[in-house]
Structure 1
Amino acid sequence: MATTRDFDERLDEIRYNNPALVTPQFSRDEVVAYIAAKALEKTDFGYPYRDVLKLFPRDWWLPSIEAILKARPNAEGARNFVDAFVKAEPAYFAEAPHELLGWNVGFARTMRMLQDRPDVAREGLRRMFESSKDFDRWHAAGHLAMLDASEEPYVGRALEAVTVPDGADEAAKKEMIVAQWMLREYGYELRAGSLHRAWPRATYHLAFPLGYLGGRPKEMLETPPGDVLPSTFTFGGSIEGRSSSGERVRLEHFMTLDPVPEGLGISASRLVLAASLWTLEDERTASFYRHHPDGTIETESDTVASHPAFRPTQVRLVRSPAMYLFQSWGEGTDENLYRLGGYPVFVQSPSYPKCIDCGLRMLHLLSLDSGLPLEEPRQGTTEHAWGSGGVAHGFWCDPCRISAWSWDCT
């Protein structure tokens, strides 16, 4: 095959008027080579991936897609072929949705397909966990726990069983290290003999007023699907705080939860979330804030400089439907990634800060995508970007009443 363009041109000549003539005009080797090449190209949103799969016999293209995805998990075109395949033959994974874990089609895509058939997926993940070793075993365990909270005790017992004391043999240590590392990637760790989750099951999306996110006119950003809470919540602006030395400082107000929605792991009825955007200049470096009973927020930094705040507004909270409980940066470009509670949207590898008082890992509370409008321009822009366009994360330790903020980007 010369190029994918040559193949496309030949295909276009006959696929509209005489689709029955497609197979005689191409060989299986041509189709395999074409899919291998097209799968490695950047996504072509106007390209009919589904038509290619419909026009050629399944055994011509399915092995090629499987092989490419397992070898190159970030191949953009390959993921589009898989999406087209799922739409064309939705029953293919119906009886074994857990097999998606080996296809590397993306975290959010995998979770949504597991959620489509939760009972079948749960049984399949258990079988995978019981029959696999090392990475694959605990990869299945993490997805099983995320899929269904009732499976968390089962996974916790399994993790406790492989936790070994000092002096254990190397094989036992290796399994323990793999198990702990994999489950930490999904926000789980063993704490006091039980599996502890560093994110709440309750998940809400922020719904901004029409036009607030003016540079990104996408419907889901302003009207995400789901049940809307009756209250409105103050977002943006600035408030007065205290530095570690007791000086008055200006903090950028993120959001006031009044009342605090249920299920977030917050015991207070009201919580003000704020930080210094100036302090948050460094990627993946957490800054911490103490929340005193009188409402004062104290930063651990002794120096805070001015920075434009987010433009003040009122937001609604929407209970996230099942398909948006698990999201991933870059998989859904038109999705709302402004999330309260739930599974965090990390751009890079997961990173949960430890509380500066108790030393325990903190609970994810808020994810804020880039693109929020500023009260005044800064460095020539009126929108705030976390680095090159990443996501910021807020965390909370309820016993210590300490919040932490960090961000990451590509």
Structure 2
Amino acid sequence: MATTKSFDERLDKVRYNEPSLATAQFSRDEVVAYIEAKAQEKTDFGYPYRDVLKLFPRDWWLPSIEAILKARWNADGARCFVDALFQAEPSYFADAPHELLDWNVGFARTMRMLQARPDVAREGLRRMFETRDGSDRWRAAAHLALLDASEEPSLGRALAAVTVPDSSDDAAKRSMSIAQWGLREYGYELRGDTLHRAWPRAAFHLAFPPGYLGGRPKEALEFPPGEALPSTFAFGGAIEGRNAEGGRVRLEHILTLDPVPPGLGVSASRLVLAASLWILEDERTESFYRHHPDGTIETESDEVRPHPAFQSTQVRLVRSPATKRFQSWGEGTDENLYRLGGYPVFVQSPSYPNCIGCGLRMSHLLSLDSGLPLEEPRHGTTEHAWGSGGVANGFWCDDCRISAWSWDCT
């Protein structure tokens, strides 16, 4: 079909006046061609995708959408049809999670659809885990663990069963590698026979004062009433730290948790997070900081140069609603990606640093989107961007009292 305009015009007449006659006014081949054309267009937020799906039988359009998503994961129009199907039938993907995972419609979108009917989704993921093999099996396992923390112990035992460290069996080694890689992608790794998670279940969003972020949509994200913690927390500004040689340096203050909310994997009652934004100018460069008992923060770098700090303010911490516990960069225009705890926000492939003290993988603690205002201009702008507009992540090792920072962008 060269154009969708004539189809749209005919469709408008039917859906407004005679929806019951849609199948008589259009042929299946017409609908298939139209769906294939529309699914590969850019997102049109004003388009009634849901009406299209309601007017025609599922077997007229679902195979086309599935084929497009399997061939091209970033087909925005096809994803809109998936959203429309979810709105019309919330239980569809919960009962058939293998389709949702196979189609790769986006991490946050996938988790929201599974969370809509968690009991049904758990059963579907268990079936997928038991009947699939290779990476599909462990992708199902990871989503099952993400959906329900109580599944983690049994999945850890299942992973341990295929882990044969000294085996000379190439098939066993390959099975172990696939299993570990499949779970590591989602922040899990096996320690003994325990599935260790590199992010806390407790999750909060940072709520900035009105106007601090320039009035953009992400600032206006609504949260359920009564979910904000009673305290306010200091954000931005600069503090004094130490470099690797013990000399005094200026660090950019990020956030002071006083008190530290429970469930974040931080045993201290008070924690000051800071970093050198100058050191962090290079993408995916990990920057480590030791937090001493007297409150001193020591960077591992010898040299620290001046950099404007984020404008100082007070923020509130708001418990993340269920629909925002899992978020991804670039999946929506109303996403607040300033997050404390919870699942990290990576723009590219997940990357968790190993602690410079104990060597173990660190746990996610804080995500910061681009767009934070600076105290003074830098390179002609007063708004800080992580590269081309990415996200920074902060990590924590509680045993060693070491924090780490890195960021990535497109």
Cα deviation, residue 5, structure 1: 2.6
Conserved 8 A contact 2:94-2:118: no
Equivalent-residue separation in structure 2 for 1:256 and 1:342 (angstroms)? 18
The answer on 1:118 being equivalent to 2:140 is no
Mapping 1:198-347, distance limit 5 Å: 198-218=198-218, 220-221=220-221, 223-225=222-224, 227-347=227-347
Deviation by residue 1:145-168 (Cα, 9 ceiling, x = unmatched) = 111111101110011111112342
Q: SS at the partner of 1:168?
A: coil
Q: How does 1:7-18 map to 2 (within 5 A)?
A: 7-18=7-18
Structure 2 counterpart SS, 1:30: helix
Cα distance in 2 for partners of 1:324, 1:349 equals: 20
Other-structure match for 2:373:
373
Distance 1:33 1:368 in 2: 42
- Amino acid of the residue matched to residue 126 of structure 1? R
Q: Which residue of 2 aligns with 1:163?
A: 163
1:395 and 2:395 correspond = yes
Secondary structure of the residue aligned to 2:17 is coil
Alpha-carbon spacing, 1:352–1:62, altered in 2? closer, same or farther (3 Å): same
Partners in 1 of 2:204 and 2:180 — Cα distance?
Answer: 28
Q: Which runs of 5+ in 2 are unaligned?
A: none
Change in 2 beyond 3 A, CA 1:218/1:360: closer
Matches within 5 A, 1:87-126: 87-97=87-97, 99-126=99-126
Work out the CA distance in 2 between the residues paired with 1:240 and 1:224: 35
Residue of structure 2 equivalent to 1:194: 194
Q: 1:161 corresponds to which letter in structure 2? A: A
Provide the TM-score with structure 2 as the length reference.
0.96
Quick one: percent identity of the two aligned structures? 81
Q: Is the 8 A contact 2:94 2:114 kept in 1?
A: no
Q: Encode CA deviations 1:232-260: one digit per residue, 9 max, x unaligned.
A: 00000000111111111110000000000
Higher alpha-carbon deviation: 119-128 or 338-347:
119-128
Q: Which amino acid aligns with 1:84?
A: A
Supply the RMSD in Å over aligned alpha carbons: 1.6
> What is the SS of the residue equivalent to 2:101?
helix
3-state SS of the aligned residue for 1:305? coil
Q: Is the 8 A contact 2:217 2:333 kept in 1?
A: no
Which 5+ residue runs of structure 1 have no aligned equivalent? Answer: none
**Closer, same or farther: CA 126–94 of 1 in aligned 2, 3 Å:** closer
Deviation at 1:113, TM superposition (A): 1.8
**How far apart are residue 366 of structure 1 and its match?**
0.2
Which SS does the other structure have where 1:16 is aligned?
helix
Normalized against structure 1, the TM-score is what?
0.96
CA offsets per residue over residues 57-111 of structure 1, 9 Å max, x none?
A: 2221122112222222211100000111111233433534454222222111111
Contact between 2:223 and 2:321, CA under 8 Å: does it hold in 1? no
- For residues 336 and 19 of structure 1, do their structure 2 counterparts lie closer, same or farther at Cα, with a shift above 3 Å needed? same
CA distance in 2, matches of 1:267, 1:196: 18
Question: Which one-letter code corresponds to 1:44 in the other structure?
Answer: D
Q: Structure 1 residues 19 and 115 mapped into 2: Cα distance closer, same or farther (>3 Å)?
A: closer
How many residue pairs get matched?
A: 409
Alignment of 1:75-154 (within 5 A): 75-97=75-97, 99-154=99-154
Whether the aligned pair in 2 keeps the contact of 1:220 and 1:335 (CA below 8 Å) is no
8 Å CA contact 1:208–1:316 kept in 2: the answer is: yes
